[in-house]
Structure 1
Amino acid sequence: MRELVFALEYEPGCNRVADALADHPDARVRSLSLHATADRLWRVDHATGTPEALDAVEDAFLSADYYADCLATEDCGATQTTRILDRADDTLILYSDWERTPTCASVPHIARDHFGDGVLFETRHEGRHYTWRLIHAGEGDVAAFFHALEVAVGECAQMEMLRTANTTTSAGGSDGTPSGLPPAQEAALQAAVEHGYYESPREVDVGELAEHLGVPRSTLTYRLRRAEEHLAKQHVAGERVTEERLISR
């Protein structure tokens, strides 16, 4: 089995969910389940944030021009049904069912075209960044998949490859960095340390650091957050292994 992780960074006005999340930086949306057949897509998403952020996310999902991951730049005539499964002050769970038309395209359907049936999908949406994690059988042409995705996305989003590896590969070394981070996240973290972002008090804020690196503030924030999450999980996992070894002695 192979793991493929990449991110789309949407331009303003190209994806209403991305626009809503960009207006509410503390909000997040992750998929709880996502399935696709040749002509349908259905998914359950879990959103967190303030009540105002969840209102914006809910409105984006319920808007007729969203169509659960459709990459068409104009109305493709698809039929979508979105239902609210649960709503609290800081949590929103949505179910979407999307019946595509011949002019529709989406990441799951492009993946099925190139990797076949049985692809597993996991998504995280933060700001304008939409991260996809695909698990597939290892057959198919990854380069052709990305070319087809690039054509479908057009100028609406930029793509960034984050990781591709065997699912059995241990974290740390599969992508050429000692920490196991994608190169872009590794570079962002190293620059943050070198410029005093993690000093107390900070010697530089994220906006100044982003300007120095020549990347959008939202991009740098996303990379640092993902890097910090990866290293924190890696540290906790290492502590558990050490504790288990001590107990077994």
Structure 2
Amino acid sequence: MREFAFTVTYEPGVDELMDVFIEHPGLSSHTISCHATENTMWRVDEVTGPEDALAAYDRVIENLTRCSSLRGMGGCEIDWRYELLDADATSRVIYSQQTEGPGCRSIPYLVASRLGDGVLLQAEQRGNEYVWRILAEDDVAMSGVYDELSEHLRDGLSVSFDHVERAPNWAERQTPDETLTPTQREALELAVEHGYYEQPRRNSIQEIARMEDIPTSTLQYRVNRAESALIQSFFGDAADEDATEARAAAPTQ
């Protein structure tokens, strides 16, 4: 099997749902399951982020009437429905179903129609990028998919083709965005913004917490948990244990 990947990039103002992701950098989405036939595309997506970002996301999908970043690539009117399967303060799990039709074909339909049975898709969305990964047989021809994507994306969208990877481990793949909770991601963003990881260090955790009016213990905990989660996602449990022990032995900054 081989993985093919491409990224669709959106300019601000061309897609009402994508604008929510652009305006809320802490918001992200990834597919849990995605299927398409000649007549229908249906999928389950997990959307995570801060409460205000998810509230904005909820408002848009309640009134969505045209193909958007999660529904297709044409921007035309659509017949679709959605159901909230699970929700809490920082996440949503959403089932959606879209009727396929001439002029408004979804990316999953395009892939399935070009490559046939046995194809799996993953999609991740954050900021202005919508990243698709396709797992298919080694000998499939992707040129037709690439050509149709390039020709039919509406104004304000562009596509780039990223890489071809042989036999990827989809079962264990997890991006940093999926690894971190919104509060952990925000803590790391603050640490980076204020130079915590620079050499020499520009600000300590205590100084960053004071500037941002956050309890030092809270910020320290979130940064530690975020670092631990990222290390574990890349190197596994053993590396995480080593990092935790090293942090415990190090003096507090």
TM value normalised by structure 2 = 0.65
Distance 1:238 1:9 in 2: 37
Cα distance in structure 2, aligned partners of 1:124 and 1:80: 21
Q: Distance in 1 between matches of 2:168 and 2:66?
A: 39
Question: How far did 1:151 drift?
Answer: 1.0
Deviations 1:116-149 (A, max 9, x none): 1221111111011111111112333222211111
Size of the aligned set, in residue pairs, is 189
Residue 168 of structure 1: CA displacement?
5.5
Distance 1:80 1:61, change over 3 A: same
C-alpha change, 1:130 and 1:199, in structure 2 (3 Å) is: farther
Q: Check whether the contact 2:33–2:44 (CA below 8 A) recurs between aligned residues.
A: yes
Which residue matches 1:133? 133
Work out the CA distance in 2 between the residues paired with 1:158 and 1:5.
Answer: 14
Q: Which residue is equivalent to 1:58?
A: 58
Of residues 59, 71, 74, the one that matches 1:72 is 74
Q: 1:137 & 1:9 partners in 2: Cα distance?
A: 26
Give the superposition deviation at 1:233: 3.6
Q: Kindly tell me: are residues 8 and 232 of structure 1, through their superposed partners in 2, closer, same or farther at Cα, counting changes over 3 Å?
A: farther
Alignment CA distance shift 1:120-1:101 (3 Å): same
CA contact (8 A) 1:110 1:145 kept: yes
SS at match of 1:145: helix
Displacement of 1:40: 0.7
In the other structure, the counterpart of 1:148 is 148
In 1: Cα distance, 2:152 partner to 2:80 partner: 20
Q: Percent identity?
A: 24
Gaps of 5+ in 2: 170-196, 203-228, 241-253
SS in 2 for 1:64: coil
| Cα distance change of structure 1 residues 34 and 168 upon mapping to structure 2, 3 Å threshold | closer
Name the CA distance, whole Å, in 2 between partners of 1:12 and 1:51: 22
Q: 1:166 to 1:155 in 2, by over 3 A?
A: same
Q: CA deviation at 1:48?
A: 1.0
Mapped contact 1:105–1:152 kept (Cα < 8 A)? no
Looking at structure 1, the residues matched to 23 and 111 of structure 2 have their Cα atoms a distance apart, in angstroms, of: 30
Report the TM-score when normalising by structure 1: 0.66
Aligned equivalents of 1:153, 1:20: Cα separation in 2: 20
User: What's the offset of the Cα at 1:9?
Assistant: 1.0
Give the 3-state SS of the residue equivalent to 1:98 in structure 2.
Answer: strand
Alignment check: 8 A CA contact 1:115 1:137 kept: no
Runs of 4+ in 1 over 3 A off after TM superposition: 197-202, 229-240
- The code of the aligned residue for 1:64 comes to T
Deviation, 1:239, is 4.3
- Listed as ranges, the gaps of 5+ residues in structure 1 are 170-196, 203-228, 241-249
Larger Rg: 2
